[in-house]
Amino acid sequence: MNDGLPDKLSYLRDIDIFRDLAPDEVELLGKRAPMQQVASGTVFFSPEEAPEVLFILKEGRVRLYRLSADGKALTTAVLDAGTIFGEMALLGQRLHQSYAEAMGPCLLCLMSREDVKSMLLSDPRIATRIAEILGQRLITAEQRLSDFAFKSLPQRMAGLLLELARPPKPRLFRQVVGPPEVRFTHEALGEMSGTYRETATKILNEFRSLGLIELKRGCVILLDEDGLRALSERAELK
């Protein structure tokens, strides 16, 4: 990977928590924050190896999950580019026995406790944005755990599809207009909703029969977002 400062600076300028900084302030951050590329499917953080580090996610998506005693994965968060996460008591930020997995190719900046204290928390502009991000993540995590406790699998799957939906993937030299897509395999969706691939496939096929979605290889196309939203609040498929 090319870790040249100009590229790093362009990445850091696009991160929301740094948007109020002057160019020279971003440059100082760039000199202290090493960058790392992570391949899709890589588990780059685990309870067995839990250094105090803050990750700044520039590109890609990361799944945070825990494992039950029988090895079943419970997804606690799906993080998009532009956010922060990690294990750092200084920020009240804990991964609590969680694993972090790259859901596609990811580009990360890493910051130590000393750099976070001297370069981030010392700046009220950045500290305020960090507090906003962590507060919103707590709300999202509480909602996800509540869904696991009180919602049925079809409800959880419907809510998950809405959460993961993104605009259609651009084609070469042009933007595609169409319904939103969820570009994950049935196995990945099963893991994120707390079930097995076979059960996830059955539920998705039921959604397709209701006209809510269309299934393509490695992709779910959302045809009826309102219907999925209504379904996510109901206990059973009709």
pTM summary value:
0.71
CB–CB of 75/63 below 8 Å? Answer: yes
At 93-150, the pLDDT tens digits run 666 678 999 988 999 988 888 888 877 778 888 888 788 877 777 787 777 778 888 8
Contacts of 165 (CB under 8 A, 6+ apart): 180, 181, 182, 222, 225
Nearest Cα to Cα of residue 77 among 115, 133, 128, 126: 133
Nearest Cα to Cα of residue 24 among 9, 4, 35: 9
Rounded Cα distance, 103 and 215, in Å: 20
CA 187 to chain CA centroid, Å, is 17
Nearest Cα to Cα of residue 55 among 133, 114, 118, 108: 108
Rounded Cα distance, 32 and 30, in Å: 5
Better-predicted residue by pLDDT, 119 or 92: 119
At 168-224, the pLDDT tens digits run 876 666 666 789 999 888 988 998 888 889 999 999 999 999 999 999 988 999 999
For every residue of 113-161, DSSP letters joined together read HHHIIIIITTSHHHHHHHHHHHHHHHHHHHHHHHHHHHS-HHHHHHHHH
Question: Based on the number of CB atoms within 10 Å of its own CB, is 172 exposed (0-12), middle (13-18) or buried (19 or more)?
Answer: exposed
Q: Nearest 5°: phi and psi at 232?
A: -65, -15
pLDDT band at residue 6 using 50, 70 and 90 as cut-offs: very low
pLDDT score of 23 more than 60: yes
